Amino acid sequence: MTNRIAFQGEPGAYSHQACHVARPEMEAQPCRTFEDVIEAVRTGEADLAMLPVENSTYGRVADIHHLLPHSGLHIVDEAFVRVHINLLATHGAKLADIAHAMSHTVLLGQCRDFLSAHGIHRVTGADTAGSARHVAEAGDPTLAALAGDLAAEIYGLDILARHIEDHDKNTTRFLLMAREPDRARRGELGMMTTFIFQVRNIPAALYKAMGGFATNGVNMTKLESYMVDGSFTATQFYADIEGHPEDEHVARALEELDYFTSRLEILGVYPADRKRH
């Protein structure tokens, strides 16, 4: 055990914050890409991967759904992290001085109202913490970054405006992934199961496959489709359901689903985060 949790981005990124929230006892290890995060866990360099999958304002995180099935890792937990966005600048800068704000495109899209109201132009950066580091290094009082409190602390920036996100419930959901699955029942709010599947090429296959969840009273909290290998005909589905595969009603629903699919793979069984409810 390394007691390390890997995340994508530079120190101070929201994924770094998520590591502190979900696993404060573990050392957070920054990685350049999502693929590097996965590889760090696969090789034993880290014990867990912290991967963002969706944001309540912006929607799902691109590429993650394509990476999960091929990662070789298993979802063992989830974490809902409230994303507060701040306007960060060099010491002495004033809000009236700021002409440009830099951040990841996801954050820029979450602060449109504030930036428009103050006539601040958006500049796309590689990521949130990287943008904060760039602002600190540039020393330009007209340039700001959109990032969290942790980034301000790490890079020595002033917070000119706090919590400037357009929606006051802006939250990102993260998945924690490990080399080995953990299907033990745990947590106080029940279990979640995440899986992917491809339906067989027969009429109404998806409709019939989904029928088992309805008739067995299984609550499906997410169902998304995406193309496989660039094909318009090969579609894969990603789903989250409430319950454990060994629950009688869940087992019946999955058995019925399996009949109508050409592929069914469980990516993880994990406790529901308290903030989910």
3-state DSSP call for residue 196?
A: strand
Residues 147 and 244 occupy one common structural domain:
no
Amino acid at site 232: F
Residue 267 inside a domain? The answer is yes
Domain membership of residue 245 as a residue range:
191-276
Residues 148 and 205 occupy one common structural domain:
no
Per-residue pLDDT at 109: 87
Looking at residue 120, the DSSP 8-state letter turns out to be: P
Residue 78 inside a domain? The answer is yes
Per-residue pLDDT at 234: 60
Per-residue pLDDT at 190: 95
**How far apart, in whole angstroms, are the C-alpha atoms of residue 129 and residue 223?**
31
Residues 106 and 75 occupy one common structural domain:
no
Query: Over its length of 277 residues, how does the chain's per-residue pLDDT go in tens digits?
Result: 889 999 998 999 999 999 999 999 999 999 999 999 999 999 999 999 999 998 887 777 767 878 888 899 999 999 999 889 999 999 999 999 999 999 988 889 889 999 999 999 999 998 899 999 999 999 999 999 999 999 999 999 999 999 999 988 889 999 999 999 999 999 899 999 999 999 887 788 888 889 999 999 999 999 988 777 666 666 789 999 999 999 999 999 999 999 889 899 999 999 999 988 7
- Active-site residue set: 172, 174
CATH number where 261 lies: 3.30.70.260
Which is nearest to 18 in space by CA: 173, 157, 168?
173
The structural domain count of the chain equals 3
